[in-house]
Structure 1
Amino acid sequence: MLPNGLDLLHRPDLPAIIARWQHDVTAAELQTGYEALRDLADRAPCHRWLLDIRRRADLTEPAINAWFGEVFAPSLRGRYAAAARLAFLVSPLRAHEPVMAIVSPHNTDCAIATFTNEAAAYQWLQA
């Protein structure tokens, strides 16, 4: 586990990178976690990511959503052989909450979807 409460695992058999946050983190720790995830994806290389955020409470933090939509997601454009696919796994109790800021298709090749079922998330990642 990284110091920011993030477990990262590359699963070539899926193929996907799995990122699991084990607890709430600060905004700076969250950004560092996303950057570590992107670094692993660059080394793999792997454009399919499962982001397990069931243990995080800050799903809709405006500053993080803005950073993600304006800085991080656009940085994924053209990085991999195919467009990045990010499947967010959330608790069924929080499924009604928006997870991420709207990411414009004009400034990124990133596809994002939210799931409460891990198997469904993996199926979507393979599409």
Structure 2
Amino acid sequence: MTPSQTSDLLQLTYRADLDLLVGRWGYQPDPVLLPAAYQHLARTAQDCGCSYWLQDIRRRTLNDPATTEWLLREYFPDMARRLGGRLRVAYLTSPSLLESIMAAPGFVSAEDYAGQAHGVAFFGDEGAAVAWLREQRP
């Protein structure tokens, strides 16, 4: 994936005022493009030392089950270790994608991550997502 392709797929902005890393996903990618995008996300998060992420996936229409499994089992735990033992990710989704995610077998609610190094939550409202991320701070 070229830098231009990465920026079209995922635009990252560190919001120092909120200590949030905001990722805006531009389109529904082919799953083969996701590893490079997530490597870019990892590098940026480490560069700014930010473990609170808002990921806007409203332009995506589905979640690839294999990618979701990899994120939950490998990527997020690894990123939590790299970022000092803590990672919180709030996903901002479209209503249809939110419904699909929550209805999927094995869906884990935000409350089920209590006490873990990483936590993930899904929202249909950006304000609620940011509020959740603020509540997650020690």
- With the length of structure 2 as denominator, give the TM-score of the two structures: 0.78
Within the candidate set 100, 124, 137, 1:97 is matched to: 100
**Paired residues of 2:92 and 2:126 also in contact (CA < 8 A):** yes
- Distance in 2 (alpha carbons) for counterparts of 1:73 and 1:114: 15
- Distance in 2 (alpha carbons) for counterparts of 1:42 and 1:14: 16
RMSD: 2.3
Identity of aligned residues (%): 30
Residue of structure 2 in register with 1:113 after alignment: 121
What's the CA shift string for 1:2-52, capped at 9, x where partnerless? 513111111101110111111111212122112211111101010000001
Distance 1:81 1:90, change over 3 A: same
Residue of structure 2 in register with 1:14 after alignment: 18
Unaligned runs of 5+ in 1: none
Corresponding residue pairs, total = 124
Larger Rg: 2
Structure 1 runs (4+) greater than 6 angstroms displaced: none
Give 1:109 deviation, angstroms.
1.2
Residue of structure 2 in register with 1:50 after alignment: 54
Within the candidate set 29, 33, 55, 1:25 is matched to: 29
- With the length of structure 1 as denominator, give the TM-score of the two structures: 0.85
Counting helix residues as a fraction of each chain, which structure ranks higher? 2
Residue of structure 1 in register with 2:66 after alignment: 63
Unaligned runs of 5+ in 2: none
**Paired residues of 1:76 and 1:109 also in contact (CA < 8 A):** no
